[in-house]
A and B are shown apart, each in its own frame.
Chain A
Amino acid sequence: EAQVTQNPRYLITVTGKKLTVTCSQNMNHEYMSWYRQDPGLGLRQIYYSMNVEVTDKGDVPEGYKVSRKEKRNFPLILESPSPNQTSLYFCASSFPGDPYNEQFFGPGTRLTVL
């Protein structure tokens, strides 16, 4: 089944404790991205990657890191989480190039930073 998976789905952590949210897709998509969704603000892009070893900042990259060592995986790293990073996070993937490409989203990770 074609899908984007994220782990963990739910996470409660404390300020300053490094964490990684994994994202994996099995559709051979070149393009992957991370979004956060907050009430009233919609989805905001954190980072995106056009292909292996190619990443770029989105609208809200501060406090986050990513890596793209393999085509299928795009982990999101919070080196020192803070309460303002409490949010719902989505990973997405698609084929780039065609402007009408569908974005396939993972199921989301609900993160709470205390």
Chain B
Amino acid sequence: RKEVEQDPGPFNVPEGATVAFNCTYSNSASQSFFWYRQDCRKEPKLLMSVYSSGNEDGRFTAQLNRASQYISLLIRDSKLSDSATYLCVVNDPGDYKLSFGAGTTVTVRA
């Protein structure tokens, strides 16, 4: 079983729509969670960290559900520029290794 699993998509949505997707992780002791964005095989870039209480950054909302061991990302009012692959990243306590999901691809169409 993979440590971090994501629905690969693609999620094809019209501009202005809301899209949401999850990521599940296998280690219940995992402590740190992130969403990275990757454009077309370019380098990943941090989108946002995911805090226990959930957090929002503009049109992006991240949630953590420890009981069910998943994190989610919701994008409101989708823009064409949101088209990308979103990588779920998990870090275990006392470990400097990051575990990456394979990514969820989102395509926003005009």
Contacts and interface: CB of A to CB of B under 8 A. Distances in A.
Given A40-B102, A41-B102, A58-B97, A99 B87 contact: no
Contacts of A108: 41-43
Interface string B9-42: 0000000000000000000000110101000011
A103 interface: yes
A105 B45 contact: yes
| Chain A interface category by residue count | 20 to 34
Best-surrounded residue of A59, A100, A102, A106 (most CB of chain B within 10 A): A100
A43 B49 contact: no
Interface residues on B, range: 20 to 34
A99 B32 CA distance: 6
Interface string A62-103: 000000000000000000000000001010000010011011
A107 B43 contact: yes
A29 interface: no
Contact of A88 (B41, B49, B93, B98): B41
Given A90-B43, A108-B42, A42 B96 contact: no
Nearest to B6: A42
Contacts of B31: 99
Interface in B93-108: 93, 96-98, 100-103
A70 to B, nearest CB: 20
Which of B34, B36, B44, B87 gathers the greatest number of chain A CB atoms within 10 Å? B44
A48 B97 contact: yes
Contacts of A48: 96-97
